[in-house]
Amino acid sequence: MDKLLPFLAVGALILFVVVLNLSLIAWARRKSGPADDALSRGINAASAARKAREKQEADLNELHRRVSGLKK
């Protein structure tokens, strides 16, 4: 029995760490509601800004094409 004691101690420690990690993950998921919303809003804003830049670039290219056509 004395030879098994270190193995039991290590097993109990591993089990404790696993349970602690799972409880911390569950706690973080409950707490992260507003942060996820803010992240989603940030992603949506970045996507909208990218689309606006692409549209502006397309408009500028179209204007450049028209001006080049007038120069000929």
**Whether the predicted pLDDT of 13 surpasses 90:** yes
Q: Quote the pLDDT of residue 58.
A: 94
DSSP calls for 17-59: HHHHHHHHHHHHHHHTHHHHHHHHHHHHHHHHHHHHHHHHHHH
Q: Quote the pLDDT of residue 7.
A: 92
Q: Quote the pLDDT of residue 41.
A: 81
**Whether the predicted pLDDT of 51 surpasses 70:** yes
Q: Quote the pLDDT of residue 1.
A: 73
Q: Quote the pLDDT of residue 33.
A: 66
Q: Quote the pLDDT of residue 31.
A: 73
Give mean pLDDT, residues 2-26: 93
